[in-house]
Amino acid sequence: MHKNQGPVYYGDYLELNKLLDTQNPLSKKYGDEAHDETLFILVHQVYELWFKQILHELNSIKKIFSVEKVQESVLSTVSSRLERIKKIQTLLLGQLEVMETMTPMDFLEFRELLVPASGFQSVQFREIEILLGLSTSDRKEVDREYFLGRLNKQDQERLLKIEKEDTLFSALEKWLERMPFTFKEDFDFWKEYQACVEDMLCGDEITIFSNVANMTPKALEIQKANLQSTRETFDTLFNEEKYANLVKEGKRRLSQKATLNALFVLLYRDEPILTLPYTILSHLMDIDENFTTWRYKHALMAHRMLGTKIGTGGSSGHQYLRDAAENNRSFIDLFNLSTFLIPRSQRPSLPQELRDEMNFNYKD
């Protein structure tokens, strides 16, 4: 515990004189100050401060997951820090409502002074995306060279350096791959799971054909095609070649082993030892969803402010932001796991020895 070596003054500790002297509207330099430019500056500065805190949390979590063996005792810390990020995201979304108190005509009073600056150049937000596993080469809505070309050399080098390092995504993937519960000498969970899935699909097939009299030929073909598609989708989980092809095509990001173990966590999340891993996976999906929501609301705000004008950074304004919201998600593989969930009542029964290993057993 650190001890105070002398008196501390509130303003000095927070360096308020420095902080509050950084709102300098450009419009003031070229004539009458545009009243709403101060709001515009403050909102974006606050965004960057919160981005700094999010990076602080993400880097600490990555460090925890980067060791070869992650102790169960630290998972509560990971969970609480992810929860903090979610709370911060709530504030980020709320700030858009403050920004929307500025009308389009108020914005036009100073907008041209900002060219070619753009939120596109927020390096901290790009760092967040990279840490979450979305590299500059993974972005689907804009060319990588154009993306990096909007940044100065120092910021380009900073992002390229970070891209060479491990990410939270890669550290999480390795953590999931090490999960020990799905294969024992006398128990192969995935063989049991595949048998349960086959029983479920056979039941669906029986249901379809028992209702043939109530369906048109076209409806029957659709039902049969859907069933076949479901079988093929489940097959991609276990066929290494098919899974590898999906990764190559960019349709899967997590490794096959990590995906299977994440699915096991979702299927048996009520087991005590899996409660925190499930909570962590849920938090990551929430964070991904919140950033998607933030991007989408940002796109709507840009449309409201600019109509179909080109953005100050040279992008297609709200169209670019909307595409970014739809196409750039870090943990979409976790969302897709719901495809492979089966009812609790149809899950494979775990051997008692394994259940004991996954529970907290107290002896008298």
Task: Give the annotated binding-site residues for heme.
Answer: 298
| Whole-angstrom distance, CA of residue 172 vs CA of residue 271 | 20
| Whole-angstrom distance, CA of residue 57 vs CA of residue 289 | 18
Closest alpha carbon to 276 in 102, 53, 122, 80: 80
Cβ neighbours of residue 86 closer than 8 Å, sequence gap 6 or more: 283, 286, 287, 290
Burial track 227-247 (b if 16+ CB lie within 10 A, e otherwise): beeeeeebebbeeeeebeeee
Task: Give the annotated binding-site residues for substrate.
Answer: 111, 312
Go through the chain and tell me how many residues it has.
Answer: 364
Task: Give the annotated binding-site residues.
Answer: 111, 298, 312
| Whole-angstrom distance, CA of residue 222 vs CA of residue 64 | 48
Closest alpha carbon to 234 in 159, 332, 320, 340: 340
What number of CA atoms fall less than 13 Å from residue 4's CA on the CB side?
5
Structure tokens at 180: 């020990």
| Whole-angstrom distance, CA of residue 166 vs CA of residue 281 | 19
